[in-house]
Amino acid sequence: MPLFWLVLIVLGIAVGGYLLGRGKALKSAGNDSRGLHSLPSYYGWNAAMKALVPALIVLMVWMIAQPLVINSRVSATIPETAIPEGSNLGLVMAEVRRTAEGLENAVKQGTMDADFARDARADFTDMTERLKQAGQIVTSAITQPVLVAAQAYRSATNSGNLYMAIVVIVVALIGVAMAIRESHADFRARNVVERGLKALLIAAASIAILTTIGIVLSLIFNTYNFFTMFPAADFLFGLTWSPEGRGGSEHLGILPLLWGTIYISIVALLVAVPIGLFAAVYLSEYAGPAVRGFAKPMLEVLAGIPTIVYGLFALTIVGPMLVDVFGSDGLGWMQGSRSVITAGLVMGIMLIPFVSSLSDDIINAVPQAMRDGSYGLGATKSETVKQVVLPAALPGIVGAILLAASRAIGETMIVVLGAGAAARLSLNPFEAMTTVTAKIVSQLTGDGDFAAPEALVAFALGMTLFILTLGLNVFALFIVRKYREQYD
């Protein structure tokens, strides 16, 4: 049963439970709501929650546990001889899962018969060809043992989904039955519903933490798999990035990518920080209410523009303009429209509302009494801004700049379209370079072998980027908290 229909059935059971719970409670009080402990709707919500919440919890736990159990059982059937040299069981199982998904999609598209898809004695070449015809990615890592394991994985998944649907529906019905049984005039339905809502709010607040943990664990495990196949020292200190040259340890060095990331971010900050900070000072200290009411929303419109649009702007407008000035027809410094300066300028424009909005809020938080005291001592407005307001707001402004830096480091589309794809160590801002994020995209796209180091290196790059941005964010919070003034 598709997941959508299963959730829809559970919601239908919850709606039916609401109506039955509310109706039975009213009936027990002689259809007079004044004889009930709680409002009639609370009895209905009690039934709906006891049908919906346990069923959804079972559904989520089952969806998390089922792949782990099936993965463990299927991996135990794969012989060691089926694991290629330089790979491991985890990477082989990744191919098994992808092949199983391909078989399922081929059956749904009608390009493969269901009996043929689960036939363990089916011709391997014929099966592979049908998968290709169905548009499924087939790599050199797919062998006969992998295909047999994929068939077992698909069969176990389909059986597990059927059992899951039955169990979830039964749990929802049991919850409704228990709630209806409780629905009588003396039942404290309001207290039960309030406690249930509190538990749901706590669970919602925990989702962000659990999601972060899941992302970090995914990066750690895949990065570990990469380092079991590739020397960590060569990755961290290598000066050459050329994944096409398979087998050489010098080909996956991260330093050129880190340099390009930092260089482009520095150029972007050199554009965004002065403009954004000056705009914030003007809006908070000099602009009138009418000007501020118009200019601030217009500035923040920049933050809502998709980054792909900025990338196209860099590729079609900014790059050619810079070539006209610095190219062969001008100063002769620039060979093409894609360069560090192109991506840095456009990324800086993108970061202006980020710096401006945060700095504006921080400057406005400085008490008016400090300004009035400065004016009372005879200082001008510019002197007050320079010697009173900005020093008081400096810790928050520094934090805003560091947060903008972490945003610049994580940018992808502007770099892909504006900076090029060349991984090099150079100080020339008119040359094409690339960043960590751009290479993560390139290494995980296409029909490459996922079990190869050239694909798994994307997770190591992601882990490096995660540590870098996390460090910047933590440092920004440390600066803000350490030097923040408390105004009464």
- Contact at 8 Å (CB) between 409 and 348? no
Token pair listed for 284: 């908070």
Q: Whole-angstrom Cα distance, residue 126 to residue 144?
A: 12
Examine the pLDDT at 342 and tell me if it is beyond 50: yes
- Contact at 8 Å (CB) between 17 and 179? yes
Tell me which long-range contacts 292-301 makes (C-beta under 8 A, separation of at least 24): 296/357, 296/360, 299/352, 299/353, 299/356, 299/357, 300/353, 300/357, 301/353
Measured CA distances, 428 to 329, 332, 335, 344 (Å)? 19, 13, 12, 13
Q: Whole-angstrom Cα distance, residue 18 to residue 46?
A: 7
The band of 483, judged by pLDDT with boundaries at 50, 70 and 90, is: low
Amino acid at site 133: Q
Examine the pLDDT at 138 and tell me if it is beyond 60: no
Decide which of 486 and 463 is more confident.
463
Residue where the block lists tokens 């509190």 = 198
Among 31-40, 317-326, 459-468, the minimum mean pLDDT is found in 31-40
Helices (H), strands (E): how many in the chain? 19, 0
Average confidence (pLDDT) over 16-30: 86
Examine the pLDDT at 167 and tell me if it is beyond 90: yes
Residue where the block lists tokens 């965004």 = 272
Average confidence (pLDDT) over 284-290: 86
Average pLDDT score over the chain = 81
Q: What pLDDT shows up at residue 249?
A: 47
Class in CATH terms, 249-483: mainly alpha
Domain boundaries, the chain: 3-205, 249-483
Q: What is the pLDDT of residues 83-137, one digit of tens each?
A: 766 667 777 777 777 777 777 777 776 666 565 556 555 555 666 666 665 555 5
* 97-79-220 Cα angle (round to 5): 50
As beta bridge partners, residue 241 has 252
- Contact at 8 Å (CB) between 120 and 151? yes
Residue where the block lists tokens 């169990």 = 167
Decide which of 445 and 343 is more confident.
343
Helix spans in 286-445 (H): 289-301, 307-313, 319-326, 340-364, 368-376, 381-384, 390-409, 413-418, 436-443
The answer to pTM > 0.75 is no
Q: Whole-angstrom Cα distance, residue 229 to residue 86?
A: 6
Q: What pLDDT shows up at residue 170?
A: 93
Examine the pLDDT at 486 and tell me if it is beyond 80: no
Examine the pLDDT at 233 and tell me if it is beyond 80: yes
**Chain centroid to CA 406:** 15
Give the burial string for 426-463 (b: 16+ CB within 10 Å, else e).
Answer: eeebbbbbbbbbbbbeebbeeeebbbbbbbbbbbbbbb
Q: What pLDDT shows up at residue 330?
A: 63
Residue by residue, DSSP assigns 22-39 as HHHHHHHTTT-GGGSSS-
